[in-house]
Amino acid sequence: RKEVEQDPGPFNVPEGATVAFNCTYSNSASQSFFWYRQDCRKEPKLLMSVYSSGNEDGRFTAQLNRASQYISLLIRDSKLSDSATYLCVVNPGRRALTFGSGTRLQVQP
Amino acid sequence: ETGVTQTPRHLVMGMTNKKSLKCEQHLGHNAMYWYKQSAKKPLELMFVYSLEERVENNSVPSRFSPECPNSSHLFLHLHTLQPEDSALYLCASSQGPGRQETQYFGPGTRLLVL
């Protein structure tokens, strides 16, 4: 079983749509959680940290369910500029991060 | 953004060559990392340096040799690589330890081994 699993997509959605990505992780001792965004042929960039209480940053909402070992990202009112690969990232309790393979989002006009 | 820089950005090398990748962070962080990203695969951790000491080596072949002369610089020395080592090599840095310690990535070096 992969340490961090994501649906690879692609998710093709029209502008203005709401889209949700899910991610599961296998290590129940994991301590911190993130969503990173990676544009084609670029480096990953932090989108947001994910907290147990859930958190929101503008059009983006992240949720964490520790009991189910499940993380989600909701994007409302999708923009063309949201097209990218979204990486679910878990810190298993040491300084390095464990990355999922990513979910590709394509927002269409 | 120029928080983490990497050189060269692109590198083509033969299997008998020796080359080095360089990473520099301007963020005052105390940890640096090397990751490998191959096509269709998730980022794989290679090495972790904390306060200039290597704290993790993720079963990386000895043809990859890291060096961290100070907290701002990280090198990856390459020798006798194989074609399957062709990938994007990403450097990252962070300040910690901390519960939500965040890593910041450089733009990567795209390596092709012929």
Q: What is the mean pLDDT of chain B?
A: 91
Q: Does any CB of chain A come closer than 8 Å to the CB of residue B101? A: yes
Residues 6+ away with beta carbon under 8 Å from A67: none
How sure is the predictor about B86, in pLDDT bands with cuts at 50, 70 and 90? very high
Average pLDDT over residues A48-53: 89
Query: What percentage of residues in chain A have a pLDDT greater than 70?
Result: 100
Which residues numbered 53-72 in B keep a CB inside 8 Å of some CB on A? Answer: 55-56, 58
pLDDT at A19 exceeding the cut of 90? yes
Q: What pLDDT sits at residue B1?
A: 56
Q: What is the mean pLDDT of chain A?
A: 93
Q: Report the residue from A32, A87, A101 with minimal CB separation from B99.
A: A32
Question: What letter does residue B30 receive in the DSSP assignment?
Answer: S
B87-90's contacts with Cβ under 8 Å and 24+ in sequence apart are B87/B36, B87/B37, B87/B38, B87/B39, B87/B111, B88/B36, B88/B37, B88/B38, B89/B6, B89/B21, B89/B34, B89/B35, B89/B36, B89/B37, B90/A43, B90/A44, B90/B6, B90/B34, B90/B35, B90/B36, B90/B37, B90/B43
- Is A87's CB within 8 Å of B43's CB? yes
Q: For the segment B11-37, what is each residue's pLDDT rounded down to a tens digit?
A: 999 888 899 999 999 999 999 999 999
Q: What pLDDT sits at residue A94?
A: 73
pLDDT at A79 exceeding the cut of 70? yes
C-alpha distance from A74 to closest chain B C-alpha (Å): 20
Beta bridge partners, A108, equal A14
Average pLDDT over residues B79-104: 90
pLDDT at B102 exceeding the cut of 70? yes
